[in-house]
Amino acid sequence: MALVNEHFLKLPGSYLFSDIAKKVNTFRITHPKQEVIRLGIGDVTRPLPQACIEAMHRAVEEMADAGTFRGYGPEQGYDFLIEAIIKHDYAPRGIHFSPSEIFISDGAKSDTGNIGDILRHDNSVGVTDPIYPVYIDSNVMCGRAGVLEEGSKWSNVTYMPCTSENNFIPEIPDKRIDIIYLCYPNNPTGTTLTKPELKKWVDYALANDTLILFDAAYEAFIREEDVPHSIYEIKGAKKCAIEFHSFSKTAGFTGVRCGYTVVPKELTAATLEGERIPLNKLWNRRQCTKFNGTSYITQRAAEAIYTPEGQRQVKETIDYYMDNARTMKEGLEAAGLKVYGGVNAPYIWLKTPDGTSSWKFFEQMLYEANVVATPGVGFGPNGEGYIRLTAFGKHEDCTEAMKRIRSWLKR
C-alpha cells in the first residue's frame, strides 16, 4: 500500500488565489452584466518586449534546422544568458560571480519552493509577516513548519510582524533562526529596506550562522537610490544568502517562465557532525537530478532583455506599471484611505477602513465596486485588516477602478 506524505494534509484546503477565483466566478455567475476589474493576482498585461519576441523567432528558426537544432541543454542554463546576467545585473554594482554560481530556472516561485530540498527538515524557519504564501506552504510540505496552531501560525515558524506601527520593517530576531526568508521590494506590502536596514540582517545572519533566502523578484521596480537591488550589495552576504530573481514581472515572462538563482560558492551549511558543505554543489546536484533546464528558446528571449533595445523596452513596460501604481496610490489616498507601497514596487497595500476584516472588505469591493483585490490575511496573520492591489492591469482599468472605489466609498 502506498502511503501519502501526510504533511500535505496539513495544508489549507486550497491555495489563496484559488479561493479568490471561486468567489469571483460566483459573482460573475450571479451578476452576468457587471464588468469586473481584476487587480488582485499579480499577473502582467503588457506584451513581451519586441526584442524578446524577435529573439524567440530566431531561436525557433534554429530549432527548425538540423544544423542549428539543440536538444537537452545544460541544467544550470546556457552560458550566453548567465554571462549577460553577470555583466548587467551584478558587475555594474561591483558584485562579481563566476558563471557556475548562477542557475537559470523556470521562475523564482519554483526555486524558492524547491530550495528546501537541500536543507534538513528540522531547520527552524523565520518569515516576515505578511509574506508570499509559497514560503510557508513549501515548508509545510516537507514537515519543516511543524503544526498549525491557533491564530493560523505554524509551530516551527517564527513570524516577524511587518505593520504600519513599525513602518513594515521587521525587527531583528532576539533568538537564533536557521533559515530566514526576506522578499524586497516586498510582496505583498510593496515596501522596501534601505542598505543600512538590510545590512542589519546580513550582520545577524553572519553572527548566528543563519541562511537568508532573499527573493529579489521585484528589484527592477526600485526607484529610490538608497534601496539595494541585491543583497550582495551588502558586504559578507555571499557567505550567508541565496538570491532569487525572476523575469516574470520585469519583462512579462509570467507565461514564458524564466528566472535565475544565485548560490555563491562561499556559502556553506553544516552537517550534524559540524562539517561545512558548500550549498552551490548541493543545489547543482539537485538541479541535475530533478530539473532538465529552461528551454533554449526561452533563454534566448531572456538574453534579449539585456540588449540596448531590450533594456529600453523593459523600462517602458516597468514605467507603465509604476504609472499605474502612482495613479492607484493617489486615487486611494484621495478617497481617504491609508495606503502603503506603490513607490518601489507594483503593489499597493491598503488598510481597510473602520477595522473591517480583509475578506469582508474584499467582498464589499467586489460586490459594490466590481473590483477584485487580494485579502491581506491570505499572506499571514498580520495581513488581517489589509488588502493588496496590483498595478499590473491596463492603465484605463486602473483609472476606472479608482473611480469606482471612490464612488462606492462616498455612498
Which three cell numbers, joined as nine digits, stand for 299? 533563454
Listed residue (193, 189, 137, 214) closest to 374, CA to CA:
189
367 is in an annotated binding site: no
Cell 516597468, residue?
318
Quickly count helices (H) and strands (E) in the chain: 12, 17
Q: Is 257 annotated for ligand binding?
A: yes
**Residue 72 annotated as lining a ligand binding site:** yes
Q: Establish whether 295 is an annotated binding residue.
A: no
Residue 378 exposure: Cα atoms within 13 Å on the Cβ side: 23
323 to 38, 191, 313, 331: CA distances (angstroms): 17, 17, 15, 12
- List C-alpha distances in Å: 346 to 104, 315, 374, 382: 24, 14, 14, 20
**248 has binding-site annotation:** yes
Is 109 marked within a binding site?
yes
As beta bridge partners, residue 117 has none
Residue 246 marked as a ligand binder: yes
Q: Is residue 166 part of an annotated ligand binding site?
A: no
Burial 286-313 (b: 16+ CB within 10 A, else e): bbeeebebbbbbbbbbbbbbbbeebeeb
Is 58 annotated in a binding site? The answer is no
Q: Can you tell me which residue has the cell 476589474?
A: 37
On whether the CB atoms of residues 360 and 338 are closer than 8 A, the answer is no
Query: Is 108 annotated as ligand-binding?
Result: yes
How is residue 47 annotated by DSSP?
A: P
The answer to the question of whether 28 is labelled as a binding residue is: no
Known binding residue 59? Answer is: no
CA distance 294 to 257: 8
Binding residues: 15, 42, 72, 108-109, 132, 187, 218, 246-248, 257, 292, 388
Annotated binding-site members for substrate: 15, 42, 109, 132, 187, 292, 388
User: Binding site for pyridoxal 5'-phosphate: what residues are annotated?
Assistant: 72, 108-109, 132, 187, 218, 246-248, 257, 292
